[in-house]
Structure 1
Amino acid sequence: MLSISKLCCVRQQQQFHYQLEVNPGEVVALLGASGCGKSTLLELIAGFVPASGGSLSWLGEDLLGLPIKQRPVTSLFQQHNLFHHLSIEQNIALGLSPSLKLNAQQREQLSQIANNLGIAGLLNKRPDQVSGGQQQRAALARCLVRQQPILLLDEPFSALDPMLRLECLELVKQLAEEWQLAVIMVTHQWQDAQRVAERVAFIEAGTTRQFASPAELLTSPSNAHIARYLACS
């Protein structure tokens, strides 16, 4: 389990406090207004922002003392950062080796993940030769080849049309269950959280205000702000 207990930091003179957990195979959505601190939590977990207190652990192992490269974490952002002068295959291979020199086992691993994501036939194409949804699948494949158990998603599908976004979200949910990934997904879309998240952490003013199932959040919001947010979403 990814355990986040009283995890806090100070950023631009604002205090942030987080309390939640994510089980292997589970998708947890981070919901809340822009600027409330959703992305800051992902950066804390990945190690890009130093914590000022609290604890962060995976399967009982403390992560706060680990440098970024040693944390069992991979991240996917809204900007997929694919290199357009490289093929889809080469872009995915960067997740395994910056030199793009893969051994036979790594090539088989890449091929299997590309097949699972439905992009095996696109490996020789460049990113600008495929659709936006296919580009995001390639970026997701680059994350998955690293075989890290914690996957952080910072609105990676928000620029896609509704059908493609739903397709990618359902794929993430399926992969989380099959590969027992602990997934934290930042979203502004309440409908997306309802579709794929087992639990939702509502972040308000840098604090985890409520951590509950989508059904409980909808029927028993802990304050008026959460009720208004859900009603407007």
Structure 2
Amino acid sequence: MSLEIRDLSLSIGKRRLFQPLSLSVARGEVATIMGPSGIGKSTLLAAIAGHLDPSVTATGHMTLEGQDLAALTPETRGVGMIFQDPCLFPHLSLGDNLAFGLRASADRTARRAGIEAALETAGLAGLYEADPDTLSGGQKSRASLMRSLLAEPRALLMDEPFSALDMELRDEMRRFVFAHIRARNIPAVLVTHDPADAEAAHGPCCQLQRD
């Protein structure tokens, strides 16, 4: 499951956000994207996922497992996303939040078993019925990752998922997230401002340059 980006450029009107980007991300690898604020790092992730704003024009090529992503709808690309905000639904239990990651075809027993296993893996065993608002920042972040992985993505995109955490928790979450990406053997792209994220990822690092 390799992600290939070749000469990708994003423009708003006649203004190109950054110089053309080429990047190859192998299975189990975490590539890091860095650059100044406003250069288009989050917009780059949106382009890969297929959620690009109509005001932005993309040129270049992106493939996942050899498939041209431009030819696929967002829901068929198989690309998961994790944001700085865990985005857990406050009106649902923790387990029901994770249920959104499972395929609808799974029966109730299989769904419950899958969710319970994911919670245990994330160090959240016994918290199926927990109110998300009662969880710590690290617990919410781990739950968000497991929800994304339950959807069995072919690639994972992360938009500064550690930036709101304190230093100790940030180190813990880096290890947790990167270990699961490698265990799932999927390519991942991490947008960050923190050089320590890139160092911990041990993957290719690209610095976006203004045009």
User: Equivalent residue for 2:60?
Assistant: 54
Name the structure 1 match of 2:40: 37
Q: CA deviation at 1:184?
A: 0.5
Q: Could you state the TM-score of these two structures normalised by the residue count of structure 2?
A: 0.90
SS in 1 for 2:5: strand
**What is the one-letter code of the residue matched to 1:28?**
A
> Which aligned pairs between 1:76-225 and structure 2 lie closer than 5 A?
76-96=82-102, 102-205=107-210
State the secondary structure of the residue aligned to 1:52.
Answer: strand
Q: Normalising to structure 1: TM-score of the pair? A: 0.82
Residues 55 and 165 (structure 1 numbering): CA distance in 2 closer, same or farther, change over 3 Å?
A: same
Superposed displacement of residue 106, structure 1? 2.7
Contact 2:29–2:187 (Cα < 8 Å) also in 1: yes
1:12: Cα distance to partner? 5.5
Checking the alignment, whether the CA contact within 8 Å between 2:103 and 2:151 is kept in structure 1 is no
Please tell me whether the aligned partners of residues 84 and 164 of structure 2 are also in contact (alpha carbons under 8 angstroms).
yes
Percent identity between the aligned chains?
36
Q: CA deviation at 1:108?
A: 2.4
SS of the residue corresponding to residue 121 of structure 1 reads coil
Kindly indicate whether structure 1 or structure 2 has the higher relative contact order, using CA contacts under 8 Å at least 6 residues apart: 2
Please list every run of 5 or more consecutive structure 2 residues that lacks an aligned counterpart in the other structure: none
Contact 1:96 1:102 (C-alpha < 8 Å) held by counterparts: no
Q: Could you list the structure 1 runs, at least 4 aligned residues long, displaced by more than 3 angstroms after superposition.
A: none
2:51 counterpart SS class? coil
Distance 2:13 2:202 in 1: 30
Distance 2:207 2:178 in 1: 19
Q: Is the 8 A contact 1:28 1:200 kept in 2?
A: yes
Matched with 1:228 is none
Q: How many residues were matched structurally?
A: 205
- Separation in structure 1 between the aligned mates of residue 207 and residue 126 of structure 2, nearest angstrom: 39
* CA shift for structure 1 position 14: 2.6
Q: For residues 54-96 of structure 1, what are the alpha-carbon distances to aligned partners after superposition, in whole Å with 9 as ceiling and x for unaligned? A: 1111121111111111012010111221111211101111222
Separation in structure 2 between the aligned mates of residue 53 and residue 130 of structure 1, nearest angstrom: 42
- Residue 75 (structure 1) aligns with: 81
Q: The residue matched to 1:118 in structure 2 has which SS?
A: coil
Distance 1:129 1:161 in 2: 18
The whole-number CA distance in structure 2 between the counterparts of 1:23 and 1:106 is 30
- Offset of 1:172 from its aligned partner? 1.4
Cα offset, 1:202, TM superposition: 0.9
Give per-residue Cα distances to partners, 1:20-78, cap 9 Å, x unaligned.
Answer: 01101001111111112211110110011165321111121111111111012010111
Query: Aligned match of 1:23 in 26, 51, 55?
Result: 26
* Residues 86 and 126, structure 1, Cα contact 8 Å, conserved in 2: yes
In the TM superposition, residue 8 of structure 1 has moved relative to its aligned partner by: 2.2
In angstroms, what is the RMSD of aligned CA positions?
2.0
